Amino acid sequence: VDLDSLPMQPTPELSAPEVVEVICRGLQHNDYPEPDAGIVRLYNFMTPQGRVSLAPPEPKAGLQGFVTLESFLADAAAPALGSLLLCTDFQLLGDLTLTPGTQTRGAFATQMIEVINEPDATGEVPGPTRRDEAEETLEALVKAPDDFLERVLQAVRTGRVPPPPPLLKKKTMAMPVHARFQIKVEQERRPPLQGCWMIKEFMSLARTKLQILNEGGEEFDGPDTD
């Protein structure tokens, strides 16, 4: 795909699969032809609801406000886009699932994609570099052994102080890292974007160990606490 031909704005001529391809290719080369061009393109191709779900703004007077481009650039890069941003490669999985439109709403479509990231010579996987202490702590928790996570959840349920997260080790992986995303698009029925396919939802399908353990809910040992 010629990066110079990637549109920055939605048009009715682009099919639903083409929109997914354009957005993913732009995020893969996020800083071409200028810094964060891929995220700006994603913003332009998203519905207002999609922008809120990816980069929710601070509520004002109890209401969810409008997402500006500035706040989207600051909040959407991580962790929502995760491994897709600056990835090594990606591919569309299977056929797009289409739900025809009705008299009251436009058509919907869902496309699965797989993202591949090849580690470099140091074993590090390419991706966003916007990290802070909170992100590193979360990564340490996600990569911790299952017994450590069980101790954390047990401590929370019994009102005790959780153990500190383990230190992260240097990555030495040699195998490529795969991740999957689900992208939902919606065809607009009204001007000014009538006929355009817009991204309604952009969701990573990865589940953390904490999410998997927490699905057990009430199956923990020990008494409940108020």
| Domain residue limits, the chain | 3-121+173-205
Identify the three-state secondary structure at position 115.
strand
Segment of 22-26, 99-103, 160-164 carrying the highest mean pLDDT: 22-26
Using CA atoms, how far apart are residues 144 and 64, in angstroms rounded to an integer? 35
State the pLDDT at residue 79: 60
Q: How far is CA 47 from CA 16, 42, 59, 144, in A?
A: 14, 10, 18, 37
CATH second-level architecture of 3-121+173-205? Answer: Roll (3.10)
Edge-to-edge strand list for the sheet holding 197-204: 89-99, 108-117, 177-187, 197-204
Is a pLDDT exceeding 60 seen at residue 88? yes
Element (H, E) at 214: helix 209-214
Span 73-81, average pLDDT: 74
Question: What does the mean pLDDT of the chain come to?
Answer: 79
Burial status of residue 117 (CB atoms within 10 A of its CB: 0-12, 13-18, 19 or more): buried
Is a pLDDT exceeding 50 seen at residue 129? no
Is a pLDDT exceeding 90 seen at residue 193? yes
| Residue bearing the bigger pLDDT, 109 or 58 | 109
State the pLDDT at residue 175: 61
* Residue 125: band (very low, low, confident or very high) from pLDDT cuts 50, 70, 90: low
